[in-house]
Structure 1
Amino acid sequence: MSVRAWLAGLAAALLLPLAAAQPADTPVVTSAAQQAWLRERGVLRVAPERDYGPFVFVASDGRVAGLSVEMLQLVQRRTGIDLRWLPAQPLAAQLDLARARDADLLTSLRPNPERSAFLLFTRPYVKVPAILVARADRAPPTLQSLQGRPVAVGAGYAVEAVVRASYPQVRWLAVADDQQALDAVLARRADAAVVDAASAAFVIRREALAGLASAGEIGFNYELSFAVRADWPELRAILDAGIAAVPEPERAAVLQRWLEPLDAAGLAARAPLATRLGVLLVAFAVLAGVVLYARHARVKPALPRPRGGRPPP
């Protein structure tokens, strides 16, 4: 059986019980007070990250796409929020907008103390592990073995502060996004990169990158949430209600569409045989973590309100 077929079967086994957990026609509406609050605020500004696939990125047709975009659309249809998508930029630039209150909502973020000074975070809607990626022509390194060596990590990403504090002897190379981190490894500007497993698989497949191998998880998980400006707790409550109201079959369909194809088969095929099992285990961790977290976070939904559209180009 091929790696891709094996992982597709694994994904189906994990996701089908989640989809069957409750009926698809269990909708919800926001309260009258929340609807009044939304009418007073008008159109809300969403600041999307430019290249954090498969969660949020600019597609080839110029539209903002990804798992987080589709999750937000599901929430939008159940809450009545009216959204305007700002131009996509690197995360650091979007955080600056939010800090200045020139943006109202961001996606695909993990809370940390610095961000919590100016943002409020919803309940997480997806969970994936961070991994270490290195060139396939070397023995798999660890962060402990990379003291004094350059290792790429996303600038402003939640994992950056954690790894800098945990491994201060590593020479950290801050880059704009996970693609630049992987490019730095291939160009030998960095010995390795810390990236999340789903993003690594997405970039490797999209860019047809060869010569990379997973060196395993680093003990940090991305529990991704929507984030809103800190002076709007009402908006966080509205988004939390919308996340909780999404029926499990719809949630499972979004997760499967964006995560199931990212089986890292391309990475495993190009990696030495000794690293293939590690890649498969990372893929398993992504899928299992998503399903188990969604089950843990499930709450009883209420009534429907269809609304919302796709983000503009």
Structure 2
Amino acid sequence: MNCKRLLCFVLCLLTCMLAVQCSVQDNSSITLTPQEIQYIQTLQKPIVVAPCPGYPPIDFTDAKGNFIGLSQDYVELISKKLGNNFEIKKIHSWADVLREAQERKVDMVISIQDVPERHWYLQFTKPYIRIPNVVVVQKSNTKVKSIYDLKGMKVAAVKGYAVVDYITKKFPTYTLELVKDESEGLMKLAFGEYDAMIISLSTVSYLIDTYSITNLRVAGTVGYDWNLCIGVRSDNPLLYSVISKALDSIPEKNKVNCSENGFRWHHALFIMKRNFGIYWLY
């Protein structure tokens, strides 16, 4: 009798395991290897994700302190596809996000640029959106017509952003003032503390509309676009593999209108088109 019960238990267990495997593969519409399936099924804790703080409309917080934005919508879709929980870790600044990624305190970083200097601690997925960086100045500043007119001016940029290295190398005589995030830099620019700011077109459009800023204009593009990826800790190749497959499996039609909250990104596109007449997307 005991042997029969044990046999029934084993058969039931195998049936359940097979059902779970089929659910992972069929419901998520991705093909995982046996090792990848075992990995996501045996995770003992949530995957820790670090968004880019203060980067609307891509990554930012709502009135309740919850992270929202386009990248967060991607994280939710990937989580549903893999059937795993993702823990969003709130980190004060982008520089701190990079530091915690280097110290292996987070598993994933979203909304991040793939640059060689980060390869020792992160592996990067394919980009899921492309956004140009632009030069923003006050409307009263008629001297600045492009990125080449900033010599001798105080130019704000976010500390830790890859575009800072680009500007420093291409324009070594420029004076960059590093700020915590886009909101801080743009507000100080609006009040005359800076002469210009390097910022993504999507973010400046969103902030100008949200805070009804009327004294700023876009002077031109920087020549260095954001090709935003997901960065996965380099010491976990199985996690990188399943995240890449899940991201690649998202249909093209959903990559702008991402999840039920896609209106946020469409709203940003509307602002960009209305205020500046141009926008770029894949």
Quick one: structure 1 residues 140 and 205, their matched pair in 2 at CA, closer, same or farther if it must change by over 3 Å?
A: farther
Specify the alignment match of 1:108 in structure 2: 111
Specify the alignment match of 1:173 in structure 2: 177
Amino acid at match of 1:264: I
Quote the Cα distance in structure 1 between the aligned partners of 2:222 and 2:206. 19
Specify the alignment match of 2:52 in structure 1: 49
Specify the alignment match of 2:217 in structure 1: 213
Runs of 4+ in 1 over 6 A off after TM superposition: none
1:98-138 deviation line (CA, Å, top 9, x unaligned) = 11111111100001122222111111111111111100112
Quick one: structure 1 residues 151 and 84, their matched pair in 2 at CA, closer, same or farther if it must change by over 3 Å?
A: same
Deviation at 1:233, TM superposition (A): 1.9
Deviation at 1:230, TM superposition (A): 1.2
Amino acid at match of 1:150: K
Quote the Cα distance in structure 1 between the aligned partners of 2:272 and 2:73. 24
Deviation at 1:140, TM superposition (A): 5.6
Structure 2: stretches of 5+ with no match in the other structure: 1-26
Amino acid at match of 1:260: H
Specify the alignment match of 1:254 in structure 2: 258
Number of corresponding residues: 251
Specify the alignment match of 2:34 in structure 1: 32
CA-based RMSD of the aligned residues comes to 2.1
Amino acid at match of 1:188: G
Q: Does 1:136 align with 2:139?
A: yes
Deviation at 1:79, TM superposition (A): 2.1
Larger Rg: 2
Deviation at 1:53, TM superposition (A): 0.9
Give the 5 Å matches for 1:1-313: 27-42=29-44, 43-139=46-142, 141=144, 142-254=146-258, 257-262=263-268, 263-264=270-271, 268=275, 279-281=276-278, 283=279, 286=280, 290=281, 293=282
Quick one: structure 1 residues 40 and 61, their matched pair in 2 at CA, closer, same or farther if it must change by over 3 Å?
A: same
Of the two structures, which has the highest relative contact order with CA contacts closer than 8 Å and spacing of 6 or more?
A: 1
Deviation at 1:76, TM superposition (A): 1.6
Amino acid at match of 1:82: N
Q: TM-score, normalised by structure 1?
A: 0.75
Percent identical across equivalent pairs?
22
Amino acid at match of 1:165: K
Q: TM-score, normalised by structure 2?
A: 0.82
